[in-house]
Structure 1
Amino acid sequence: MLDNARITPLGDRTEHYWLVQRMARANGTDLVAAMEAGVLDQEAWAGMVERCRGCAWADGCHRWLDRPGDALRDTPEGCENRARFATLMARLQEE
């Protein structure tokens, strides 16, 4: 039997596409460079957007991203893509 309390409806795909873009910009992950270097492909990119769509911390993400500041920031612990961003940044530094 499924525990309905754990089921979270997925968010809007376009909204979460932009949230992932904004989070990457805020934490310094160059998604274009990652794709050009072959460390991020379409399937992995789509997976990041899908993980974001199912993230229970989306409201916190909006608030965090809306805070003013131009300096790069560490990805918040609540972000479902935190580990993926860290992996991409590390792989880009190896290039």
Structure 2
Amino acid sequence: MPHLGEIMTHLRLVLRMGQATGTDLAAAYRKGHLKQEEWAEIVQQCRGCSWAKDCPEWLERREQVEQAPSTCPNRKYFAALKTKQVENA
């Protein structure tokens, strides 16, 4: 079983990745595009990610990106939620 990181550390990483990709996770949750279980799964996947230790540095070097890096286990979530945001704008 992989070592899981601290929940709050990874919650912050998820929120920062959302900002970097232009994905408003809080708005997606409020609009029903992101369920509580999915939000928890996103954080849990981040906690188990072997690349998470490199994520803060990656985020520091970038303000805005088109999508999360291919190493991010939540890349598909960010892309799907961002698409919904654009469609409902």
TM-score normalized by the length of structure 1? 0.84
Q: What is the DSSP-based 3-state SS (H/G/I as helix, E as strand, rest coil) of the residue aligned with 2:53?
A: helix
- Residues in 2 aligned to 1:59 and 1:16: alpha-carbon distance in whole angstroms: 10
> C-alpha offsets along residues 27-65 of structure 1, whole Å, 9 cap, x if unaligned?
100112211221012111111000000001012212101
Deviant stretches of 4+, over 2 Å: none
Aligned pairs, number: 87
From 58, 61, 78, the counterpart of 1:64 = 58
Structure 2: gaps spanning 5 or more residues: none
Greater Rg, structure 1 or structure 2? 1
- Among the aligned pairs, what percent are the same residue? 45
Tell me if the contact between 1:52 and 1:80 (Cα under 8 Å) persists in the aligned partners: yes
What are structure 1's unaligned runs of at least 5 residues? 1-6
Q: After alignment, is 20-29 or 85-94 more displaced? A: 85-94
Residues 37, 92 of structure 1: 8 Å contact kept: no
RMSD: 1.2
The aligned counterpart of 2:85 is: 92
Query: Which TM-score applies when normalising by structure 2?
Result: 0.89
